[in-house]
Amino acid sequence: MRRDIFQAIADPTRRGIIALIALQAMTPNAIAENFNTTRQAISKHLRILSECDLVKQEQQGREIYYSLEIEKMKEIDQWLEQYRKIWEIRFNQLDKLLSTIKKQKK
């Protein structure tokens, strides 16, 4: 079953996991040490992130390490870029309006 990527990143714990493994690959136990939750709950979050292709697994000996799938994050960023541009335009318009009001008060 494919999950919606935006529902996956809507959860604060999953966003925290993404932030952690963006810096370095980690085992589920190492990830769980950073949260006030069970190892099983972290495994469930990792499964959801894996189903969305946001994280990848790599077996190293007996351990499984999770790391961030950068290309999938780029897809999210590209989708967000369209909205970022709209807000930049609106903020620039607001800056101009505030400058005009400030000049009129002088």
User: Residue 1 pLDDT > 60, yes or no?
Assistant: no
Confidence (pLDDT) at 106: 74
CATH 1.10.10.10 given to domain 1-68: yes
* 66 and 57 Cβ atoms separated by less than 8 Å: yes
Q: Tens digit of pLDDT for each residue in 59-99?
A: 999 999 999 998 888 888 888 898 999 999 999 999 999 99
Residue 79, token pair as written in the block? 């989708």
Lowest mean pLDDT: which of 25-39, 40-54, 67-81?
A: 67-81
Position 75 scores a pLDDT of: 85
3-7, 22-26, 68-72: which is most confident: 22-26
Domain ranges of the chain: 1-68, 70-106
